[in-house]
Amino acid sequence: MKRRDFLGSAGGAALLAGCGQQDSAATADAVSTPQETIHWKLVTTWPRNFPGLGTGANNLARLIGEMSGGRLQIKVFGAGELVPPMEVFGAVMQGTAEMGHGAAYYWKGKIETAQFFSAVPFGLTAQEMNAWLMYGGGMELWREVYAPFGVIPVMAGNSGVQMAGWFNREINRVEDLRGLKMRIPGLGGEVLSRAGGVPVQIAGGELFTALQTGVIDATEWVGPYNDLALGLHKAAKYYYYPGWHEPGTTLEALLNREAFAALPGDLQHIVINACHVVNGDMLAEYTARNNAALKTLVEEHAVDVRRLPDKVLERLRALSDEVVAELAGEDALSGKVYESFSRFREQVTAWSDISERAYLNVRGS
Residues in contact with 5: Cβ distance below 8 Å, sequence separation at least 6, in sequence order: 269
Asked if residue 20 belongs to a domain, the reply is yes
Short-list 362, 203, 267, CA closest to 1: 267
322 domain residue, yes or no: no
- For residue 12, give Cα distances in angstroms to 7, 8, 246, 320: 4, 6, 36, 44
Q: Is residue 105 part of a domain?
A: yes
User: Does any domain span residue 92?
Assistant: yes
Instruction: Put the strands of the sheet holding 181-183 in their side by side order.
Output: 198-200, 181-183, 218-219, 165-167, 238-241, 304-307
Return d(Cα 243, Cα 224) in angstroms, integer: 12
Question: Which residues have a Cβ under 8 Å from the Cβ of 61 and sit 6 or more positions away?
Answer: 42, 74, 75, 76
Instruction: Give the integer Cα–Cα distance in Å for 265 and 259.
Output: 12
Q: Is the pLDDT of residue 323 over 50?
A: yes
- Asked, for residue 352, whether it belongs to a domain, the answer is no
Return the minimum-mean-pLDDT range out of 34-43, 70-79, 229-238, 264-273: 34-43
Query: Does 257 map to a domain?
Result: yes
Give the chain's mean pLDDT: 91
Q: What is the CATH number of the domain that holds 70?
A: 3.40.190.170
Residue 183 within a domain:
no
Cα distance between residue 111 and residue 331, in whole Å: 12
pLDDT of residue 19: 39
What number of other Cβ atoms are within 10 A of residue 318's Cβ?
Answer: 13
| Cα Rg of the chain (Å, integer) | 21
Please report the sign of the dihedral spanned by the C-alpha atoms of residue 312, residue 317, residue 322, residue 328. positive
Q: What distance in Å separates the CA atoms of residue 58 and residue 101, rounded to the nearest whole number?
A: 10
What's the distance, CA 234 to chain centroid? 26
* 16-73 per-position pLDDT tens digit: 333 333 333 333 343 434 578 999 999 999 999 999 999 999 999 999 999 999 999 9
Domain that holds residue 107: 3-158+248-287
Residue 34 has a pLDDT of: 54
Task: Give the predicted TM-score (pTM) of the model.
Answer: 0.87
The set of residues, in sequence order, having a beta carbon less than 8 Å from that of 136 and lying 6+ positions away, is 340, 344
Distance CA 325, CA 193 (A): 16
Q: Rounded mean pLDDT of 175-196?
A: 96
What's the CA dihedral at 99, 101, 105, 109 to 10 degrees?
Answer: -40
Count of structural domains, the chain: 1
Predicted local distance difference test score (pLDDT) of residue 33: 46
327 occurs within a structural domain: no
Residue 6 has pLDDT above 70, yes or no: no
CA–CA separation, 185 and 72 (whole Å) = 34
Residue 83 has a pLDDT of: 96
Comparing 7-21, 48-62, 124-138, 304-318, which segment has the lowest mean pLDDT? 7-21
What beta strand segments (E) does 216-257 contain? 218-219, 238-241, 250-256
The whole-angstrom distance between residue 174's C-alpha and the CA centroid of its chain comes to 28
Cβ contact 133:1 at 8 Å: no
